[in-house]
Amino acid sequence: QHTINKIAAGEVVERPASVVKELVENSIDAKSSAITVEIKEGGIQFIRITDNGLGINKGDITTAFLRHSTSKIKSIEDLFTVSSLGFRGEALASIASVSQVEVISKTREEITGVRYVIQGGNEISKDEIGCPEGTTIIVRNLFFNTPARRKFLKSPGTEAGHISDLLNRLSLSHPHISFKYIYNNQVKLHTSGNNQIKDVIFNIYGKDIAKNIIPINYKTEEVEITGFIGKPQISRSNRNYESTYINGRYIKSTLIQKALEEGYKTYLPMHKYPFCVLHYKIESSRIDVNVHPTKMEIRFNNSEELFQLTKKVIIDGLRQIEL
């Protein structure tokens, strides 16, 4: 059983950022309105996620760490239709198999909570404790029992950068949730959860970008595009300033990137990239789900139409910005 978990963990848990992704998505699925992520040393030594969500019942805590214990999604087709982010019920099991995990959780219905400790997949302790509603999960010493995988990790700074990118993306797609990111005791991001994407953009990118963006609001029968676009930005790494989401999920689509750049073409001298936060709502029948669920790539059935639509929306939007 442990060996199976360790192998499966390779798919879900590649680096500290994948741990944070799975845990924060669980917090989102649990209807939290505030999520705090605290990490030390790139998340390799220490990750702590605290949420104020539904919590886990004492009686369910052991099962939550078994593989395939999910009730959220039944098939891969559901991935872009159902509203929850988790889908295979293997995240907690995988994470616990390659690290030292401590969970503290309480549901509203229960008077006391539970503290559960599991290391390398072995249950260490399970105790009744007093604690607030919601869930705190601490992950220590990632890959402590799989040294080969630990060697693959980059420097703490690089790993922390991945986590920071991830939290930026998650807060842009969940403006109704307050996110707090603390790295080596410093608060790096704190969003209000007031449901204004514009305010999240201000939090992440600062005043200069936020003051020069315009809202996008476009709707056909099949596609809805909302969000913000702004002036092209100088970027160190390609496309640092492009975030696109399909039905709430962050994705990287070559098609959309190309359409964006075509739209921006006349405004894009060297080393400048579009600034955008775009949310697409597309009927799931229009999406080719024959892609690996953990990859962020995606294909569309009506790709030419989507390309032209994106380009048009960008060009129309840019006309309204002072460039």
Please, are residues 189 and 181 in contact by the beta-carbon 8 Å criterion? Answer: yes
Residues found in the chain: 323
Structure tokens of 256?
Answer: 């959309």
Write down the least CB distance from residue 25 to Mg ion, Å.
5
Structure tokens of 201?
Answer: 């953009």
Write down the least CB distance from residue 33 to ligand ADP, Å.
13
Is the CB of 139 or the CB of 276 nearer to Mg ion? 139
Please, are residues 119 and 132 in contact by the beta-carbon 8 Å criterion? Answer: no
Is the CB of 38 or the CB of 51 nearer to ligand ADP? 51
Write down the least CB distance from residue 92 to ligand ADP, Å.
4
89 contacts which partner out of ligand ADP, Mg ion, none, CB within 5 to 8 A by kind?
A: ligand ADP
- Site residues for Mg ion per CB under 5 A: 26, 86, 91
- Measure the CA angle with vertex 233, ends 228 and 238; round to 5°: 100
Is the CB of 32 or the CB of 244 nearer to ligand ADP? 32
Evaluate the CA torsion angle 240, 242, 248, 251 in order and state its sign: negative
Point out the residue whose Cβ comes nearest to ligand ADP: 86
Write down the least CB distance from residue 231 to ligand ADP, Å.
38
Is the CB of 60 or the CB of 305 nearer to ligand ADP? 60
- Site residues for ligand ADP per CB under 6 A: 22, 26-27, 30, 51, 53-56, 64, 69-70, 72, 86-92, 135
Write down the least CB distance from residue 92 to Mg ion, Å.
7
Structure tokens of 77?
Answer: 């087709």
* CA gap 200, 211 in Å, rounded: 12
Point out the residue whose Cβ comes nearest to Mg ion: 86
Distances in whole angstroms, Cα of residue 42 to Cα of each of 59, 101, 171: 33, 17, 20
- 176: alpha, beta or left? (left if phi > 0; alpha if psi -120 to 50): alpha
